Amino acid sequence: MRVLVAEDEKGLADIIGAGLRKARMAVDVVYDGDAALERAMTNEYDVIVLDRDLPEIHGDDVCRRLLEAQVPARIIMLTAAGDLWSKVEGLSLGSDDYLAKPFDFPELVARIRALARRVPTRLQPVLRMAGITLDPAHHEVHRNGRYVALSPKEFTVLEVFMRSGGSVVSVEDLLEKAWDENVDYFTNSVRVTVATLRKKLGPPPVIQTVIGAGYRLVDPGHGAPSGSG
């Protein structure tokens, strides 16, 4: 799950971001409406945590523009105003949920997860390739009928491979889709994650290293291209 947090109180924003990462979410954090709008229009998020009182571009205007652009991410608004009228007003702008400050962090996590389940599926719900079945809704992977236990990061990387349909996926693409913006682009975490994923999927190998380009998923039953590793 990828989440955008837009909150002008930097300390609070960073605390929310750190907490959501501990809850195994990929999180980007911005501190004004202009940055929030730019990120939301550029990246694919499942949920956007949007403070109403943002500088540069007001949170209400950010919400309206995202709806006009038909951005599929769900929006939960944060505000210091918790009275009934403020909640009604916030929801009438088109947000999917509304949470008044101060709030209990477990409630925010629960609301984000609930909203993420409502994000419309853009591709087929169950993916199948090379004897692998990946079910995003139930977070399950099977290979030739055998259950494969994967970490959230390994699951996301495999999902990226399967959605690519056998096309080469670069390391940069993996970092963009499976990690958040705080990742060190010189890290070896992609290589380590792919190596662990290969081991868990078992033989024959289905993840091919394309030297100088990245990785791709191949079907060993149809013969892997030369140079696989």
Q: How does pLDDT run across 198-211, given as a tens digit for each residue?
A: 999 999 999 999 99
CA-CA-CA-CA dihedral for 107, 108, 109, 115, to nearest 10: 110
Q: What is the pLDDT of residues 98-152, one digit of tens each?
A: 888 888 999 999 999 988 877 554 444 688 888 999 988 778 999 998 999 998 8
Q: Cα–Cα distance between 18 and 15 in angstroms, integer?
A: 5
> Which SS3 state, helix, strand or coil, does residue 129 take?
strand
Predicted structure pTM score: 0.56
Three-class SS state of 174 = helix
Count other Cβ atoms within 10 Å, centred on residue 11.
8
Cα–Cα distance between 188 and 167 in angstroms, integer?
Answer: 22
- The pairing of beta strand 207-210 with beta strand 74-79: unpaired
